[in-house]
Amino acid sequence: MRRIFRIVLWLFIFAAVFQIYVLNSNLIDIYSYRDKFIQNVDYIPKEMTNPHLATDFNLLYADYIWFKSLQYYGDRKEKKADVLYLNNIFNSITNLDPYFEQSYSFGATLIGTDGNNWEECQKLLKKGMINIPDSWRMPFFLGFFSYIWYKNYNAAEYWFRVAIKKPDCPEKISHFIPFMHLKMGDYYTGMLLWIEIYNNAQNDREREGSLNNIKNYAKIYLTKAHRKYREDYGYVPENLRTLINEQYVKGIPTLPDKSIFYYNRKKDSVLVYKKE
């Protein structure tokens, strides 16, 4: 009985040692790709880049590449490493671990800024939207980068709308949407959106900020219409209601704090007067 027990024990030890040896061999083999993979994603074993095979080993290797990517980026300016390799690095990480959310956003930021590669930046974030469909960060970054880097306000507005429909998206992300309409010159739609935000505000601070934006957007909208009317007719309109009657504006908002809009001839602008 003892002999059988010893045999089983030695077999178990042998199996454990053999497994450790194989695992270490794979690790050594994989880590030998370290420098080459940065230059060419093909050096990563194909079986480890299956986005549907999120094994513990894949996750471990993804973390390893992640830390190497931080080191690579940190040393980039000193060593003058090629930023073109950033795309390979972060696509490799997200192939190994498709749910590594930070890798998409951080990678897209580096690829878009240092790499100056908007196409690959978008691809990485859209890849993240497919793999993590409930994440609001992917569409948010697409919108934010469209706005900041490429001044594509229409695309930015679209992606912000996608972001706010995702679970747990911060309420303040919705504030980017009317701002994009302001940048596009669509003051009326922006004003309506701020009215909607005001009506859904959860606290006095948010209501106050929304109300100020309603006033600011409306003042710009009405002032431009007022000046266009004067340019067309050669004189100022009798009152602001005339702008509605003559279809120069779609409407004038009623402000919840009882303030009213009026035309200031000296400043040639529509301003807001609050009754005490």
Q: pLDDT tens, 79-109? A: 445 566 777 878 888 888 888 898 899 889 8
Question: Tell me, what's the pLDDT at 115?
Answer: 73
The rounded distance, in Å, linking the Cα atoms of 124 and 141 is 11
- The DSSP letter of residue 199 is H
* Closest alpha carbon to 215 in 183, 262, 169, 177: 262
Task: Kindly report which listed range (42-51, 55-64, 224-233) carries the lowest average pLDDT score.
Answer: 42-51
Whether 209 maps to a domain, the answer reads: yes
- As a whole number of Å, the CA-based R_g of the chain is 29
Q: Which pairs from 224-228 meet CB under 8 Å and 24+ separation?
A: 224/187, 225/249, 226/263, 226/270, 227/268
Q: Which two tokens stand for residue 135?
A: 């994440």
- Give every CB contact of residue 43 below 8 A, 6+ residues apart in sequence: 33, 36, 37
- Beta strands 260-264 and 269-273: pairing type? antiparallel
Residue 268 three-state SS = coil
Question: Is the separation of the CB atoms in 255 and 219 below 8 Å?
Answer: no
Average pLDDT, the chain: 79
**262 phi, psi to nearest 5 deg:** -150, 160
136 assigned to some structural domain: no
Q: Is residue 100 situated within a structural domain?
A: no
Residue 140 lies in a domain: no
Domain-located, residue 204: yes
Work out how many domains the chain is built from and give that number: 1
Question: Is 161 among the domain residues?
Answer: no
Does residue 167 lie within any of the structural domains?
no
**Model confidence at 223, in pLDDT bands (50, 70, 90)?**
very high
Helix ranges restricted to H, 97-183: 101-113, 118-131, 137-148, 153-164, 176-183
3 state DSSP class of 111: helix
**Confidence (pLDDT) at 154:** 96
Q: What is the pLDDT of residues 162-172, one digit of tens each?
A: 999 999 999 99
pTM for this structure? 0.74
Domain that residue 245 falls in: 185-276
Decide if 30 is inside a domain. Answer: no
